[in-house]
């Protein structure tokens, strides 16, 4: 089965824009999203033309947090991998060596606040309707 892109990446004018793109579930985080986000961060780190990274969500929210439907049916090994990936994403953001911004285009709920860690990003511009709920 082919995986679809759930993190869309593009670089323009020195800024890598990483967009969480799971509109069917409000950009909820699952293993696929975290894997692709980690790969996109690695790409941005290795790309000398990228001077800063902007992480945002597609649609009306940044992210609904962890994908609870996925977690409820995932085997224990996948849940452990999800936790490991969340830690890896956070570590990569912190060690990137380039400014990382989180554009909160709507709510950032639960795990979305903790990972991909907008709290760790240097600047968090929000829209007037943004809410951060832990």
| CATH code, 73 | 3.90.226.10
Domains identified in the chain, total number: 1
pLDDT at 2 over 50: no
Helical pair 76-95 and 31-46, crossing angle rounded to 10 deg = 20
Domain presence at residue 73 = yes
Is there a contact between 103 and 59 (Cβ–Cβ < 8 Å)? no
pLDDT at 6 over 70: yes
Domain presence at residue 2 = no
Q: What is the mean pLDDT of residues 96-107?
A: 88
pLDDT at 64 over 60: yes
Burial class (CB in 10 A: 0-12, 13-18, 19+), 12: exposed
Backbone angles phi, psi at 126, to 5 degrees: -125, 150
CA distance 45 to 88: 14
This prediction's pTM: 0.84
Domain presence at residue 86 = yes
**DSSP character for 51?**
-
Q: pLDDT confidence of 126, banded at 50, 70, 90? A: low
Range of the domain at 42: 7-133
Q: What is the mean pLDDT of residues 54-65?
A: 92
Rg (CA), the chain: 14
State the pLDDT at residue 104.
Answer: 84
CA distance 32 to 99: 24
Angstrom distances, CA of residue 112 to CA of 1, 3, 128, 133: 27, 22, 18, 9
Domain presence at residue 1 = no
């Amino acid at each position: 089965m082919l995986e679809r892109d759930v993190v869309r990446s593009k670089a323009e004018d020195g800024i890598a824009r990483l967009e969480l793109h799971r509109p069917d579930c409000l950009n909820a985080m699952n293993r696929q999203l975290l894997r692709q986000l980690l790969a996109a961060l690695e790409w941005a780190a290795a790309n000398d033309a990228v001077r800063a990274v902007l992480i945002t969500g597609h649609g009306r929210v940044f992210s609904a947090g962890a994908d609870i439907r996925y977690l409820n049916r995932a085997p224990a090994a996948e849940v452990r991998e999800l936790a490991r990936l969340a830690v890896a994403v956070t570590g990569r953001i912190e060690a990137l060596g380039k400014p990382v911004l989180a554009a909160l285009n709507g709510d950032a709920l639960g795990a979305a606040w903790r990972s991909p860690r907008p709290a760790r990003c240097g600047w968090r511009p929000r829209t007037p309707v943004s809410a951060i709920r832990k």
